[in-house]
Amino acid sequence: MENSKLYLVRSPSKLIAENLAGYGWPQVNFSEAEDIAGLMALFADKGINPGRQRSQIKRLFSIQEGDIVVVPLNRAVAFGVATGKRSYAKGVGYGENRIGVEYFRHEDGSVVRIPRSELPEALSTRLKIRMSIVSLGEFKDDIIRIVNQIQDTGGARFDSHIQQLEAEALASLREQLLNNIRVGKTNLASGGIGLEKLVAELLRTEGYVAKVQAKTACEGNADVDVEAFRNDRFTSSKLLIQVKHHSGNTGHHALHQLQPLDNEDDAQRWIITTGDVQQELVEEAEGQGIGVMDGEQFVDWILERGDSLSQATLNRLGLSTGLSLLL
């Protein structure tokens, strides 16, 4: 294990049951390639430029037998050891290209879930990064210590029954809250402005100065719903966000509204939607430096920052202070 490399793989959690971790790009079967050069050739053959995701694609392909894989879950993480086997299958969005992972499990077969509160602060913060495949080499000592602890105790320190119940309750809350927002079963202002104000408030909980923009703020086909700034002693960030209140799929229109702003003061451009987003659109957007947050990720953000939202906003969402649904 001393020679193992360590990776965060932001995989669909449903693949854990099959001892797999997955990444997207359904257009390309990574397992057909013998090496990274061959993998890039597969992309070229299909006329696909992976853009800024090239490094993440290479990292996934580079995961070898014996490497440690960390998969983020709701308020927890799962650890496993890569088998070195690659595979490809459709049916699970954002998880078509897969690697085998032997996850650490309890005696009853349930996966060992490590609460994020049990992780070192720096590692827990790193897991919030928006990228899908990330090297965690700088946290090797911490991760090896956790893995050794799991192996020595069989994960007994972590109460699998309690954590499973908490995870199921949270998953139910996420699903119902997302459905309520999508179908308008909240007291957010209609016409999209309520959702835009919610995004602005969430950004303020993250330390940004955020403002909902007038519809006439941009020229031509460009459109920004929320603009946000954050400055500290060392960094300066600017966000330009297009917000979509959708119940189905969010299409290319949102992307087209942000594309004209590619030279806007090195700003980060984002699409935030309550809808679903096809992976092809996510990849196209990220290839142009535009981030995408879909409905499930948006609800996760609400629940993560719920303790910092105003009581009025919680009431509009139908959430109690303890983050349970009232509607």
Residue 325 forms part of a structural domain:
no
What is the total count of domains within the chain?
2
Domain shared by 137 and 250, yes or no: no
Do 153 and 215 belong to one domain? no
Domain boundary among 139, 158, 177: 158
Q: 212 in a domain, yes or no?
A: yes
Domain boundary among 158, 177, 204: 158
Residues 281, 246, single domain; the answer is yes
What CATH number corresponds to the domain at position 285?
Answer: 3.40.1350.10
Q: Which candidate, 11, 20, 1, 308, places its Cα nearest to that of 133?
A: 11
In a shared domain, residues 196 and 154: no
The two three-digit tokens of residue 55, written as one number: 């490094």
Has residue 172 been placed in a domain? Answer: no
Q: What one-character DSSP code corresponds to residue 112?
A: P
Same domain? 145 vs 11 = yes
Is residue 180 included in any domain, yes or no?
Answer: no
Indicate whether 323 belongs to any domain: no
| 3-class SS letters over 153-179 | HCCCCCCHHHHHHHHHHHHHHHHHHHH
| The pLDDT value given to residue 40 | 96
Say which amino acid occupies 275: G
Q: Establish if 163 belongs to a structural domain.
A: no
Per-residue pLDDT at 62: 96
- Contact indicator for 318, 296 with CB cutoff of 8 Å: no
Q: How far apart are CA 323 and CA 10, in angstroms?
A: 25
Amino acid at 20: L
Residues 150 and 190 in one domain: no
**Amino acid, single-letter form, for residue 125:** T
Pick from 83, 101, 71, 92: which is nearest to 10 by CA? 71
Task: List all residues 6 or more positions away from 47 whose beta carbon is below 8 Å from its beta carbon.
Answer: none
Task: Identify whether residues 90 and 25 lie together within a single domain.
Answer: yes
Give yes or no: residues 13 and 137 share one domain. Answer: yes
What is residue 172's predicted lDDT score, i.e. its pLDDT? 87
What are the contacts of 258-267 at 24+ separation with CB within 8 A? Answer: 258/222, 258/223, 258/224, 258/290, 259/222, 259/288, 259/290, 260/218, 260/220, 260/221, 260/222, 261/218, 261/222, 261/224, 262/288, 262/289, 264/238, 264/240, 265/238, 266/238, 267/238, 267/239, 267/240
In a domain, 166, yes or no: no
Distance, in Å, from the CA atom of 55 to the CA atom of 43, rounded to the nearest integer, reads: 13
Residue 249 and residue 151 share a domain: no
Assess if residue 164 is contained within a domain. Answer: no
Q: Is 221 found in the same domain as 142?
A: no
Residue 81 is classified by DSSP as E
Sequential pLDDT tens for the chain (327 residues): 678 999 999 999 899 999 999 998 999 999 999 999 999 999 999 998 888 789 999 999 999 999 999 999 878 899 999 999 999 999 888 899 999 999 999 888 889 989 888 899 999 999 988 788 999 999 999 999 999 988 887 765 655 555 666 667 778 888 999 999 999 999 999 889 999 999 999 999 999 999 999 877 777 678 899 999 999 888 889 999 999 999 999 999 999 999 888 766 678 899 999 999 988 888 888 878 888 999 999 999 999 888 899 999 999 999 876 655 555
CB 258 within 8 A of CB 290: yes
pLDDT of residue 225: 94
Task: Classify residue 92 as exposed, middle or buried by CB count within 10 Å of its CB (0-12, 13-18, 19+).
Answer: middle
Beta-bridge mates of residue 22 = 98
* 154 plus 189 within the same structural domain: no
Let me know whether 122 and 245 are in one domain: no
Show the domain range for 230: 185-317
- Domain of residue 116, CATH code: 3.10.590
Distance between CA 153 and CA 166 in Å, rounded?
22
CA dist., res. 220 & res. 12, Å (int): 38
